[in-house]
Amino acid sequence: MGYPCLLCGAELIELPEEEIHRCSYCQQEQPVYYVCPAGHAVCDDCQAADQATLIQRVCAGTTETDPIAIANLIMGHPAFVMHGPYHHQLVAPVALVALANLGQIKFNRAHIPAVMRRTADIPIAVCGSRGGCGAAEGVGAALSVLTKASYLKDQERALALRGTGETLLAIAQAGGIRCCKQSVYLAFEVLSRLLRAELDLDLPVKVRCAFYRTNPECKGPRCPYYPAGGEA
């Protein structure tokens, strides 16, 4: 039995010798020993990366303009199990690099680790234990970075708080037990709306849930991202 592709599950083709291919995660030209029939290749560093490192590697290298495509790529990696606190660090850097790739902002990718640290200390399961959500705070973090907000600034601080608050409300209104994927998707939709209304920035968001088949606790038709008839 061979090895499955991390992106599509197809059986990998073992190469007769090492070849240089562009990694499907970090977009760097890297030596690999296996490739996918669909053209996917994954370097050793991305294959073995932990969640935070994977976010950094993908966001540093991606030229993708669709934040949902970037998020789904990261969340589909085996290191990203269905639910967990690493989702908290995802929203802000993905949004910022997508905006940069769209030409909407200038963003130095060397700052990705600093952006991620803003939501790195949010504990697991805070949605149930204290009514918070790291994905929602990721919206506040992204808005804070874009406006250079601080606790001493007026409208900038207010917008960051509003971003977190409106995302929390959207998650609460979605109801049901927690789904980290749904929270991330809702966060991007709220952020997109606020960016357009308040900062005249356009971050198109069209959610395509890639996980409803593999989430044993999927809410099904109760979730706004569940496809009609359960089919994508």
- One digit per residue, the tens of pLDDT, for the chain of length 232 reads 578 889 988 999 999 888 899 999 999 999 998 999 988 999 999 999 999 999 999 999 999 999 999 999 999 999 999 999 999 999 999 999 999 999 999 999 999 999 999 999 999 999 999 999 999 999 999 999 999 999 999 999 999 999 999 999 999 999 999 999 999 999 999 999 999 999 999 999 999 999 999 999 999 999 999 997 555 4
Measured distance CA(204)–CA(66) in Å, rounded: 7
Q: Give the separation between CA 204 and CA 189, rounded to whole angstroms.
A: 9
Closest by CA position to 210, among listed 94, 70, 62: 70
What pLDDT does residue 118 have?
97
Could you give the 3-state DSSP secondary structure of residue 92? Answer: helix
Is-contact 59 83, C-beta < 8 A?
A: no
Q: Where are the beta strands (DSSP E) in 60-175?
A: none
Share above pLDDT 90 across residues of the chain, in percent, rounded to a whole number: 89
Q: What pLDDT is attached to residue 120?
A: 96
Helix (H, G, I), strand (E, B) or coil at 28: coil
Q: Which two tokens stand for residue 21?
A: 């291919």
120 torsion bin: left (phi>0), alpha (psi -120 to 50), beta (else): alpha
How many helices (H) and strands (E) are present in the chain, helices listed first? 9, 2
Tokens 């969340």 identify what position?
75
Cβ atoms of 25 and 73 closer than 8 Å: yes
CA 156, 109, 31: angle at the middle one, nearest 5? 155
Count other Cβ atoms within 10 Å, centred on residue 131: 9
Closest CA to 88 of 24, 137, 38: 137
Report the pLDDT value the prediction gives residue 232, as an integer from 0 to 100.
43
What local confidence, expressed as pLDDT, does residue 99 receive? Answer: 98
Cα–Cα distances in angstroms (integers) from residue 85 to residues 56, 121, 122, 181, in the given order: 16, 9, 7, 11
**What's the rounded Cα separation, in Å, for the pair 85 and 77?**
15
